[in-house]
Structure 1
Amino acid sequence: MMNIDYTDIMPSVVIAHFLMQFLGRYLEIQTRHPKVFRVLKFSWLWTFMVLLLGELLNFSFFKDYFYELITIVVLYILFLAKELPVARRMMEIAFIPLAAVLFIYDFFHLLTPNFHKNNLYFFDPIRSFAIFWVIGFSFYAQRQGKRERLEKQKEEEERRLLEAKKQELEYQVAERTAELTKQKESLEEALVELKTTQTQLIQSEKMASLGELTAGIAHEIQNPLNFVNNFSEVSVELCQEITEELEKDNFDKNYIIEILTDLSQNQQKITHHGQRAASIVKGMLQHSRTSSGQKELIDINALVDEYLRLSYHGLRAKDKTFNADFKTNLDTNLPKVEVIPQDFGRVLLNIINNAFYAVQQKIKLNIQNYKPTVIIITEKIDNELIIKIQDNGSGMPENVKLKIFQPFFTTKPTGQGTGLGLSMSYDIITKGHGGTIEVESIEGESTTFTIKLPLK
C-alpha cells in the first residue's frame, strides 16, 4: 500500500477550507448564492479528495498548482459578489496581486525551467510574500468589513428609528389634520350661524327704526289728512251753495264767482296737503325698502327737518308723557347733495333717536329748570357739508365714547337696542358716502354728532 504524506495534504485542506468559509461569509454568498455556499461549506472535503487522489495516482498537478486552482475559485467567487462593490474591491486588492505573482511564477516554471530553478531564491519569496499579503489583507478586510457592517447596522437602526418617528409624526399630522378639519367645519358652521344672526339683527335694527318711523309718520301724516278732510267738507258745502244759488231765477253772479274762488283755493290746499301726505308715505316706503345703492340729488335741509319731526313724534307715540324742544338752524344756501336717500335717512333717524333718548333719560333725573332740547345745524364750510345733531342730554363718559361705533355695543337696557344703529350709520357715512362722522360728549351735559360730506 502506498504511503501517503498527510502532513503535506492537511495544511492545504485547512487553508482552502478556512479561506472558502471566510469568503462565503464576507461576501455574503450564503444569502446571495446559497447553492454555491453549500459547495464552499464542504470545501475541506473536495480539497482533501482532490489532493488525496493526486497522491494515489502519483499525479502532482493538483499539488503543484494548488494555489493557482484556489485563486481561480476565489476569482469566480469575486465575480459572484458583484452586488457588493466595496467588499469585492477589498478582496480584489488582496487576491489579484497573488494571481499575478502565480502567473509569473508558473510562466517561468513552464517555459524556462532552468532559469526558474536557478532563481528560486527570487521566485519563492515573492510567491510567499503574495500569500502572506492575501492572509494579512484578508484579516484587514475582515476587520474593515466588520466595522462597515456595524456602521451599516447602526445606519439601519437609525433608519428604522427615523421610519418609526416618521410614521409617528405622520399619525400625529393625520390626527391633527382631522382635528383641524373638524374645527374648520365647526367654525364654518359657526360662521354661517353668525352671518344668519347678523342678518337677523340688522333686519331687527331696520324694523326697529321702521317702527319708530311709522309711529312718527302716523302722527305727522294726521295733520295733512285733517286739512284734506276739513277743506273737502267745506268744498262740499260750497258746491251746495252754488247749486242753491243757481236754482234761483235771479242768481247773484258775483256771489257765485266768490264761491268758486273759495272752492278753487280749497282745492289748491287739498292738493298741497295731499302731496305732503304722499311725500311722507313715500319717505316711509323708501326707508322700509332695501337700499338700491343709487345716489340722488337731495335737499338735505328738507330731509333733516322731516326726520327730526318723524323721530320726535315716533318717541311721543311710545311715551305720551315725553316732551322736548327741537330746533333747526339750517343754512338756506346749501346745494343739493348726492346721497342714497334710504341709507342717509336711517343715519339721521338713528342719531336723532339717540339724541331724544338721551334727553328723555335726563328728564327722569328730575333736574330743576332742565329744558330738554335737540338742535340740528347744517352749514357749508369749504367743500364740505356739515350736519351737527346736538342734545343737552345725559352725555357719555370717555370709555363709552371710544366704543360708540363698535358693532353690538349699546348703552341701552337689554331689549331696547341691538347695538347696530350707530355701527351701521358709521359704515353708511364713511364707506357709502366717503364722509366722516364724529362724536363729542361731556358726561352729564351734552352730546354732539358731526357728519361731514364732501361736496363735488
Structure 2
Amino acid sequence: MNWADGESYVAIFVAFFVIRYVRNFLETPTRLPDWDMYFKRIWLTGFILMGLGEIFPRPWLIWFQLIVFLSIAYTVWQLYDLRPARTLLFAIAPYAIISCLESLVKSLSHSFYKKTDDYFESGATFSIIWLITFAVIAANQKKSLEKIRLEREKEAEQRRIIENKKNELEYLVAERTAEITRQKEELEEALKELKTTQTQLVQSEKMASLGELTAGIAHEIQNPLNFVNNFSEVSIELIDELEEEHAKPDRDVELETEILADLKQNLQKITHHGGRAASIVKGMLQHSRTSTGQREPTDINALSDEYLRLAYHGLRAKDKSFNATFTSDFDTSLGLVNMIPQDMGRVMLNLFTNAFYAVQQRQREGGDPNYKPTVTVSTRCVNGEVVITVSDNGTGMPEAVKQKIFQPFFTTKPTGEGTGLGLSMAYDIVTKGHNGTLEVDSKEGEGTTFKITIPA
C-alpha cells in the first residue's frame, strides 16, 4: 500500500475533525480531563503510521481507523451514563465498521474489492445517512439534557434562594419571638405592678370611705349619747330629790308621784336614744363586715336615711362651718327589698358623699348669696323595679366629665381627696351585683341627679 496517495491524508483529516467533534460534543475536557489530553492527539498516530507505511508496506490505515474507533468507543464507555454519548457511538459504529472492512478488503484483495466496490459505496452512503441521522438525534438529546440541566440548576438556585429566605425568615422569627417574649415579660411585670397599685388604690378608696363613714358615725352617735348622758344626770338629780322628800316626816305624795313620772319619762328617752345608738353601731358593723354576696331582705328606706345622715356628718367632721339641708321622700309601700345591704350601703354612701361635696364646693364659690345647699333622696317602685334617686343642687358636671365618671381612677377632686374608684365600684355593684342600672343626669352650675334602678 502506498501511503502517499490522497486516501490516507483524507483519513487522517477526517479522524482529526471527528475527534474534535466528539470532544466538543461530549465535553471531554470538562468531563474526562485526564483522558482528554491523550484522546485529542489520537489522530497524530496517522502520521506515524504513514511514515511506517513508507518503510514497511502494510495495511496501516486499517489499524489507524481501528485506533480512532476504539478511542471513541473507550471515551463513550467512560461516559456510558450520558445518553447522547451512547447515541453518538451508535451513530458512528456502522460507518467505522464499513470503513475498516473496506480498507481491509482493499488491502488483502484488490480484485475482489473492485468487484464489490458498489456494495461498499452503498454501505458507506447508508452509514453516512445513518451517522447524520443519529448525530442529529444525539444533538437533540444533548439539547434536551442541557435544557433539563439548566432547569435543574434554575430549580437548585431557586431552592437555594428559598433556603436562604427560609433561614433569613427563621432568624427574623426567632429574633421577633425573642422580642415578643421580652415585651411579654415586661407587660407581665407591668401588669403585676398595676395589679399591686390597683389593690393599693382600692384599699385606699375603702379606707377613705371608712374614714368618712367613721366620722359620720362619730357625729351621728354623739347625739343619742348626749341625750343618754343628759337624761341620766337629770334622773340622778330626781332620785336624790325623791330620797330627800321620802325622808321628811311630812311627805308630799303628789311631789313624789310627779318625780316618779319624770323618772319614767327620762328612762324611756334613755331607752329610745340608746336604741338609736345601738342601731348606728349595728349599721357600722354591717358596713365593715366583708360582703358575702348573699342577698337578704332589706329596708331600703331605712338604709338610705341612715347613710344620708352618716355622709352629712362625715363631711361636717372635716368642715365645721359646712351646713346643708338634706331631705328624704321615701315610698312607704316598698317594704323589704332583696339586695346585698353592705354593698348597696357603700353605693349610697359614695353618692351622698359626692352630693354633699358638690354643694359644699358651690357654696365656697359664693356666686349666689341666696344659695342653699340641698341634697335629696327619694325611693319609688316603678314597674316592678326599685328606683332610688339622689339629687343635689351643687356644681354639676360638663358633658365631657359626665362621660368619664364611671371609669376607674377618673376623679374631679384634687389630689389626695379621691382615687376615682368610688363611682366605678358603685357602678359595678349596681350593674353586676344587682342586675340594675346606674344613670346620671347633670347640668353644669345647676346640679346632678343619680338614679339607681334595681329589680324589686
Corresponding residue of 1:311? 311
Matches within 5 A, 1:256-405: 273-366=273-366, 367-405=368-406
2: CA distance, partners of 1:214 / 1:238: 35
Q: Which residue identity is paired with 1:14?
A: F
8 A contact 2:65–2:96 mirrored in 1: no
TM-superposed deviation, 1:211: 0.8
Q: Which residue identity is paired with 2:210?
A: L
Corresponding residue of 2:23? 21
Indicate the larger mover: 47-56 or 317-326.
47-56
TM-superposed deviation, 1:134: 4.8
Corresponding residue of 1:214? 214
TM-superposed deviation, 1:290: 3.9
1: CA distance, partners of 2:29 / 2:272: 116
% same residue: 52
TM-superposed deviation, 1:181: 3.0
Pick closer, same or farther for the CA change 1:64–1:220 going to 2, 3 Å.
same
2: CA distance, partners of 1:165 / 1:238: 105
Corresponding residue of 1:39? 35
Q: Which residue identity is paired with 1:124?
A: A
TM-superposed deviation, 1:408: 2.3
Corresponding position: 1:194 with 2:190:
no
Q: Which residue identity is paired with 2:330?
A: L
Q: Deviations over 1:257-287 (max 9, x none)?
A: 9999987876666555444334323333343
1: CA distance, partners of 2:271 / 2:175: 76
8 A contact 2:91–2:135 mirrored in 1: no
TM-superposed deviation, 1:193: 1.9
1: CA distance, partners of 2:358 / 2:87: 104
Q: Which residue identity is paired with 1:375?
A: T
2: CA distance, partners of 1:154 / 1:205: 72
Matches within 5 A, 1:115-126: 119-126=119-126
Q: Which residue identity is paired with 1:38?
A: D
1: CA distance, partners of 2:339 / 2:28: 94
What SS does structure 1 have at the residue aligned with 2:365?
coil
TM-superposed deviation, 1:306: 0.3
TM-superposed deviation, 1:330: 0.6
1: CA distance, partners of 2:142 / 2:203: 88
Corresponding position: 1:418 with 2:419:
yes
Q: Which residue identity is paired with 1:220?
A: E
Pick closer, same or farther for the CA change 1:365–1:8 going to 2, 3 Å.
closer
1: CA distance, partners of 2:13 / 2:314: 125
Indicate the larger mover: 255-264 or 443-452.
255-264
8 A contact 2:359–2:373 mirrored in 1: yes
Aligned residues: 440
What SS does structure 2 have at the residue aligned with 1:223?
helix
Pick closer, same or farther for the CA change 1:222–1:131 going to 2, 3 Å.
same
2: CA distance, partners of 1:271 / 1:129: 140
TM-superposed deviation, 1:323: 0.5
Please give the TM-score of this superposition, normalised by the length of structure 1. 0.78
Indicate the larger mover: 380-389 or 158-167.
158-167
Q: Which residue identity is paired with 2:317?
A: A
Pick closer, same or farther for the CA change 1:296–1:93 going to 2, 3 Å.
farther
Indicate the larger mover: 176-185 or 162-171.
162-171
8 A contact 1:238–1:259 mirrored in 2: yes
Pick closer, same or farther for the CA change 1:247–1:127 going to 2, 3 Å.
farther
Q: Which residue identity is paired with 2:190?
A: A
TM-superposed deviation, 1:244: 9.2
Pick closer, same or farther for the CA change 1:106–1:4 going to 2, 3 Å.
closer
Q: Deviations over 1:220-271 (max 9, x none)?
A: 111233344445556767888999999999x999999999998787666655
Corresponding residue of 1:454? 455
Structure 2: give runs of 5+ residues left out of the alignment.
Answer: 105-111
What SS does structure 2 have at the residue aligned with 1:42?
helix
8 A contact 2:212–2:311 mirrored in 1: yes
Pick closer, same or farther for the CA change 1:310–1:63 going to 2, 3 Å.
same
Indicate the larger mover: 316-325 or 279-288.
279-288
TM-superposed deviation, 1:451: 0.5
Indicate the larger mover: 326-335 or 276-285.
276-285
Cα RMSD, aligned residues only: 4.6
1: CA distance, partners of 2:214 / 2:27: 102
Q: Which residue identity is paired with 1:43?
A: F
1: CA distance, partners of 2:71 / 2:172: 58
Pick closer, same or farther for the CA change 1:101–1:303 going to 2, 3 Å.
farther
2: CA distance, partners of 1:307 / 1:424: 17
TM-superposed deviation, 1:106: 10
2: CA distance, partners of 1:286 / 1:392: 30
What SS does structure 1 have at the residue aligned with 2:441?
strand
What SS does structure 1 have at the residue aligned with 2:27?
helix
Pick closer, same or farther for the CA change 1:421–1:63 going to 2, 3 Å.
same
Matches within 5 A, 1:434-453: 434-453=435-454
What SS does structure 2 have at the residue aligned with 1:439?
strand
Q: Deviations over 1:351-402 (max 9, x none)?
A: 1111111111221233132221111110101110000111122222222222
2: CA distance, partners of 1:116 / 1:453: 127
8 A contact 2:431–2:437 mirrored in 1: yes
8 A contact 1:16–1:47 mirrored in 2: no
Please give the TM-score of this superposition, normalised by the length of structure 2. 0.78
TM-superposed deviation, 1:326: 0.6
TM-superposed deviation, 1:320: 0.4
Q: Which residue identity is paired with 1:180?
A: I
Pick closer, same or farther for the CA change 1:39–1:26 going to 2, 3 Å.
closer
8 A contact 1:91–1:141 mirrored in 2: no
1: CA distance, partners of 2:176 / 2:444: 52
2: CA distance, partners of 1:50 / 1:306: 132
What SS does structure 1 have at the residue aligned with 2:391?
strand
Q: Deviations over 1:167-198 (max 9, x none)?
A: 44444444433333333332222222222222
